[in-house]
């Protein structure tokens, strides 16, 4: 088996995310050559280092309509040879959720349409880097397998009693093995270069506000109970004999600090597990929503509305230790709150004060969570708002 040596490689640069009037823009490149992408379009600046000369291209519109519907692959009717298809969204790599009959599912739109317009070019750059990284990884595995094969054959022929019969083959292997090892070293170096390191440029005030947001999340994730509200419906209070106006379907989830191999940010993301969709990861200035099949969305954090309110919930599954009880109701109750005595097995239900957290964006993010520590939920939402305000103030300073 002969080794196929990779002939081409695209170096993916570092990216700086900047606060702009119309959203977050990305500066991509290195000294002397940068590409700035934003909501208005793409503008390239090329300079000659040491001369002070530079050239800036006119702003070219970015066709976000095509990128939203076809972020990576050509249209199905166009042949595209030489590239494998993406993994299917199957039970082996995706979450399967079926809402309870009669309830309305609470879920976000597909990740293909969630990305903020100003971040579409960055999303496509990251996707291209991932695609090339996968190709290089496959080439690296092939090269490592070939190296192992060549080493084994060389050792076997050299130790053979008939090694003088194999002089020509031994010479060939002694020539091929260093070439294979050099290719392995090159592929390892290239694999590292396909990772996009992203830095978020913000003011000292924004950095302090983000640190406060991380601290608030640390308290939030420590809540005894955290649920993803996946579906709801209005109750028929008369027929169901209840004072509750809304019935929900909830699933226990985890909030934690995490990361994704999509991008390299300083620090860790705040992750909200999603029982019936894709997890939400909050980074400085950007929310990342990765899907199991490799697709993902990037959302300007200022475009993501994160709100919290105190919620009185009729708890029938045990009261978490960090929640507080705000009275009691009955499984079957009259309009005035008294127990409906027609039901002999009627029983009291504690009313707990929980924190209700919602995520919304104009691009289609719609998620809802409930946590047992209501004060932690409120503090986190307030910390997010203060951070978003600090980003807006940073924008004003940039424009001044």
Q: pLDDT tens across 191-213, in order?
A: 777 767 777 777 888 889 999 99
User: Has residue 364 got a pLDDT over 90?
Assistant: yes
Q: How many CB atoms lie within 10 A of CB 326?
A: 12
Between 155 and 131, name the one with better pLDDT.
155
pTM above 0.85, yes or no: no
Query: What does the mean pLDDT of the chain come to?
Result: 76
* Residue 19: pLDDT over 80: no
Higher pLDDT, 64 or 386: 386
User: Which of 193, 194, 200, 192 is closest to 265 using CA atoms?
Assistant: 200
User: Which of 24-38, 55-69, 289-303, 331-345: highest mean pLDDT?
Assistant: 289-303
E strands, 175-303, are: 198-200, 226-234, 246-252, 255-258, 269-272, 280-283, 286-290, 296-300
pLDDT in tens, 213-231: 999 999 999 999 999 999 9
Rounded to 10°, the helix 120-158/167-193 angle is 160
């Amino acid at each position: 088996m002969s080794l196929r040596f990779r002939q081409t490689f695209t170096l993916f640069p570092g990216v700086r995310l900047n606060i702009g009037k119309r959203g977050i823009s990305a500066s991509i490149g290195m000294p002397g050559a940068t590409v700035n992408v934003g909501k208005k379009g793409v503008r390239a600046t090329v300079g000659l280092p040491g001369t002070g000369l530079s050239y800036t291209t006119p702003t070219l519109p970015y066709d976000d309509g095509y990128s939203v519907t076809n972020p990576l692959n050509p249209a199905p009717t166009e042949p595209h040879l030489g590239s494998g298809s993406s993994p299917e969204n199957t039970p082996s790599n995706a979450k399967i959720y079926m809402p309870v009959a009669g309830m309305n599912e609470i879920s976000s739109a597909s990740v293909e349409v969630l990305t903020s317009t100003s971040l579409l070019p960055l999303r496509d750059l990251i996707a291209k880097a991932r695609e090339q990284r996968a190709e290089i990884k496959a080439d690296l595995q092939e090269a490592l397998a070939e190296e192992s094969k060549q080493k084994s054959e060389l050792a076997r022929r050299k130790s053979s009693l008939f090694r003088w019969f194999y002089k020509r083959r031994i010479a060939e292997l002694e020539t091929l093995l260093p070439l294979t090892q050099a290719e392995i070293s090159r592929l390892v170096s290239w694999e590292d270069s396909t990772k996009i390191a992203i830095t978020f440029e913000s003011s000292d005030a924004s950095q302090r506000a983000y640190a406060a947001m991380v601290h608030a999340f640390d308290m939030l994730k420590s809540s005894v109970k955290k649920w993803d509200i996946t579906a709801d419906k209005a109750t028929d209070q008369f027929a169901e004999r209840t004072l509750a106006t809304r019935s929900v379907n909830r699933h226990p989830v985890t909030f934690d600090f995490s990361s994704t191999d999509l991008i390299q940010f300083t620090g860790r993301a705040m992750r909200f597990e999603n029982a019936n969709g894709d997890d939400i990861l909050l980074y400085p200035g950007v929310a990342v929503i990765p899907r199991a099949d490799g697709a993902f969305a990037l959302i300007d954090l200022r475009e993501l509305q994160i709100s919290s309110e105190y919620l009185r919930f009729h708890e029938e599954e045990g009261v978490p230790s960090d929640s507080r009880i705000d009275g009691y109701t009955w499984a079957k109750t009259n309009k005035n709150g008294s127990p409906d005595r027609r039901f002999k097995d009627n029983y009291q239900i504690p009313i707990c004060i929980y924190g209700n957290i919602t995520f919304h964006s104009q691009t289609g993010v719609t998620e809802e969570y409930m946590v047992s520590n209501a004060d932690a939920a409120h503090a986190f939402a307030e910390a997010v708002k203060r951070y978003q305000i600090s980003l807006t103030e940073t924008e004003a300073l940039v424009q001044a």
